[in-house]
Amino acid sequence: MRAVVRHEYGTADVLVVDEVPVPRPGRGEVLVRVDAAGLDRGAWHLMAGDPPAVRLALGLRRPRDPGVGSELAGVVVAIGPGDRSGLRIGDVVLGAGLATFAEYAIAKTTALCRRPSDLDAVAAAALPVSAVTAHQAVVDIARVTDGQRVLVIGAAGGVGAYAVQFAASCGAVVTAVSRRDKHAAVRDLGASAVVDRERVDPRDWGVHDVVIDIGGRRPLAQLGRLVARAGALVLVGGEGGRGPLGGTSRQVGAALRSPFLPFRARMFVSTVTTRALAPVVEAVADGRVRPVVDRVVGLGDVASGVSALEAGSLVGKVVVVPDAPTETA
């Protein structure tokens, strides 16, 4: 089968399309024919081996598994031994998988849910990691309620585009922080107000009941000034930074300092499970949330999609469709 692989850590230019064997599902796993696969920033971190601490798990000098991609929508074509999940060959699913930028990919049965017939594969593939993360941040952790003032930093990105929608659907008054060229898009997703992060000083971003930092680059002290007393700060992203933990060291610092702060400060690592996918699929079905796809690329154009992610030019997600034609030479 064809798959996007990388044999060393790096940015978009380490990616190539190669012929590789179709993987075999183990216990608790299924093989999925990939109809579409979303690109999320977490997959980029694994591709790049950044922060360095992830290399302890993935391979110190080079990645042991060359595959890339974590989200998928497709059809179950083989089931691992001893399966008790109830999934059947031919089931149409979405969820998280391994090395999903390929014609076939392995997924744990516990990380999949059935895809409703009116949700197409491209839209479904734009949901799993990003929308589940946004739902967990807004609903489970911040517990956003009607009328609250919610600031979403990184509002136009993969997670942010859903965080804005979930917060607005909870009845919050959402202020979206993004580059100015994305303001029309974030208003369209439900933001009542917008802030141009490149031109407006963070001291003028206002005070909010809930601050959800997805951009992941702001110092904790700066974020703290944006949170109302007894409010909540949810740290989703962790970018930049030095040392083995890179930008995630800020989240660890916030967790340690949380008991001494006048607001709740929470970090979390999202998990895509059948149960976590359910409210996301339900929100899409009843129209509270819509999948946000910036562009669709074929396997041969994954590098250009990754470059766009690195450049910060996307609104929502890149979705990879294995049989889409390659456009770049």
Using CB under 6 A, pick the residue from 157, 279, 298, 305 that binds ligand NAP.
157
Min separation Cβ 99 and ligand NAP, Å: 18
Helix, strand, or coil (residue 241): coil
List the interface residues with ligand NAP, window 166-205 (CB under 6 A). 178-179, 182, 197
**Computed from CA positions of residues 153, 156, 159, 162, in that sequence, does the dihedral angle turn out positive or negative?**
positive
CA 258 – CA 267 distance, rounded (Å): 10
Q: Is position 279 an interface residue for ligand NAP (rule: CB under 6 A)?
A: no
Min separation Cβ 211 and ligand NAP, Å: 12
Q: Is position 214 an interface residue for ligand NAP (rule: CB under 6 A)?
A: yes
Q: What is the DSSP letter of 313?
A: -
Q: Is position 270 an interface residue for ligand NAP (rule: CB under 6 A)?
A: yes
CA 142 – CA 144 distance, rounded (Å): 5
The residue among 107 and 236 lying less far from ligand NAP, judged by its C-beta, is 236
Using CB under 6 A, pick the residue from 99, 102, 123, 159 that binds ligand NAP.
159
Pair of tokens at residue 236: 């989703």
Q: Is position 133 an interface residue for ligand NAP (rule: CB under 6 A)?
A: yes
DSSP one-letter string for 74-105: EEEEEE-TT--S---TT-EEEEE-BS-SBSEE
Pair of tokens at residue 65: 């598994």
Min separation Cβ 316 and ligand NAP, Å: 8
- Spell out the residues 6+ positions from residue 45 whose beta carbon is closer than 8 angstroms to its own: 51, 54
CA 48 – CA 8 distance, rounded (Å): 8
Min separation Cβ 230 and ligand NAP, Å: 23
CA 36 – CA 121 distance, rounded (Å): 6
CA 146 – CA 311 distance, rounded (Å): 35
List the interface residues with ligand NAP, window 23-52 (CB under 6 A). 40-42, 45
Using CB under 6 A, pick the residue from 138, 174, 236, 272 that binds ligand NAP.
236
In Å, how far are 64, 228, 230 from 224, measured between CA atoms? 40, 8, 11
Using CB under 6 A, pick the residue from 48, 129, 164, 302 that binds ligand NAP.
129
What number of chain residues touch ligand NAP (CB under 6 A)? 33
CA 325 – CA 323 distance, rounded (Å): 6
Q: Is position 264 an interface residue for ligand NAP (rule: CB under 6 A)?
A: no
Contact positions vs ligand NAP (CB under 6 A): 40-42, 45, 129-130, 133, 153-154, 156-160, 178-179, 182, 197, 214-218, 236-239, 268-270, 309, 312, 314
